[in-house]
Amino acid sequence: MSYLDNVRVFVRVVELGTLSAAGRDQRVTPAVASNRIKELERHLGVRLFNRTTRKLSPTEHGRVFYEGAVKIIEAVNEAEGAIADLSRNPKGSLRITAPLGIGRRLIASGVPEFHDRYPEIEVRLRLSDHNIDILSEGVDVAFKLGVLEDSNLRMRGILNCERVICAAPAYLERRGVPATPDALIEEKHDCLLLRYPGSKEYYWTLQMPGGLRKLEIAGPYDSDDGDVLTGWALAGHGIINKPLFEVKQHIDGGALVAILQDTPPAPVQLAAIYPHKRFQDPKVRLIIDFMAERCQRLIGRILAGEAVGD
């Protein structure tokens, strides 16, 4: 086994906490991951992990070795990136992530095309509406809606996305159409919320005549999957606040009706977010350039009412 491969597995076990998670990340079985850790421990002559039935935690020796191992992996990645840039033959792996809605509609279907263009780059895509810690989870690029809140990260804006508040005709017939933002609260409308541990979306930010206003809304249930909220809204169970490109076809087809259009939600920026240390990696620049152009093109087509296939 390659010593560097052993070190890579070790780093990911420390960061992810289990052999199975690290194995999935490195595309090896838990048994192979375990063997690589054991080989590394034999080579170093120390125990690197305290083992329990559920989780591995690094020993003092493991913590010290981790600090140096991370620098080794970063140095190798930077060296590979520099060579790839000079040879114009980029290679290696990229870990990218995106929310479910963006990922399914814009990112996932572009991965095969990107790989066809750069066949020696492996793309590992993770879709989740949860807040992902980019640094601790080893993500190279996150495509997401929102603002940059971590000074250890960089952001490249791609597109400002219009948002819309909407509901199914059946819901509006049953509960009435809210005439003002305050009616959402006063009439106790069922607002469908995207929530998960650490989520900040407990309010909707609306564009009012006097400026932006944070409206604390509520509803009978919520989900950590934005597409689930859309499904609930389509079935007449409540009101959603979504990027327009995600629900445009439903609005055009009459399955959803836009409401409160005089006080719409504030737009949100679609951006690529990545660690400072990835800035010089040509693979990162390539995937951002490729996906930025793709997202702009596809969203433009969706908002123009064109059919966009997967």
Question: What pLDDT digit, counting tens, does each position of 140-190 carry?
Answer: 999 988 766 666 788 888 989 999 999 999 999 999 999 999 999 999 999
Q: Are 191 and 273 contacting, i.e. CB atoms less than 8 angstroms apart?
A: no
Question: What pLDDT digit, counting tens, does each position of 16-70 carry?
Answer: 888 888 888 888 888 888 888 888 888 888 888 887 767 788 888 888 888 888 8
CA distance 266 to 271: 16
Number of H helices and E strands in the chain, helices first, is: 11, 14
CA distance 272 to 69: 27
Which whole number is the average pLDDT over 179-208?
A: 84
Name the segment(s) of the chain with CATH classification 3.40.190.290: 163-266
Query: CA torsion sign, 219 to 223 to 225 to 227?
Result: negative
Three-state secondary-structure class, residue 77: helix
Phi-psi region of 78 (alpha: psi -120 to 50; beta: other; left: phi over 0): alpha
To the nearest whole number, what is the mean pLDDT of the chain? 86
Phi, psi (deg, nearest 5) at residue 212: -75, 145
CA distance 43 to 27: 23
More confident position, 52 or 258? 258
Name the segment(s) of the chain with CATH classification 3.40.190.10: 90-158+268-310
- Residue-level pLDDT at 84: 57
CATH topology of domain 163-266: D-Maltodextrin-Binding Protein; domain 2 (3.40.190)
Q: Helical H runs in 177-243?
A: 181-186, 226-234
Contacts of 238 (CB under 8 A, 6+ apart): 167, 171, 189, 190, 191, 192, 219, 220, 232
Distance of CA 178 to the CA centre of its chain: 32
CA distance 67 to 70: 6
Tokens matching residue 34: 């375990």
From residue 92, alpha-carbon distances to 21, 116, 119, 167 in Å are 20, 14, 10, 45
Domain 1-86 of CATH type 1.10.10.10: yes
Name the segment(s) of the chain with CATH classification 1.10.10.10: 1-86
Q: What is the CA radius of gyration of the chain?
A: 23
CATH homologous superfamily of 90-158+268-310: Periplasmic binding protein-like II (3.40.190.10)
- Residue-level pLDDT at 67: 86
Nearest to 10 by CA among 138, 140, 147: 138
- Residue-level pLDDT at 1: 52
For 153, counting Cβ atoms within 10 Å of its Cβ (0-12 exposed, 13-18 middle, 19+ buried), the class is: middle
For the whole model, what pTM was predicted?
0.68
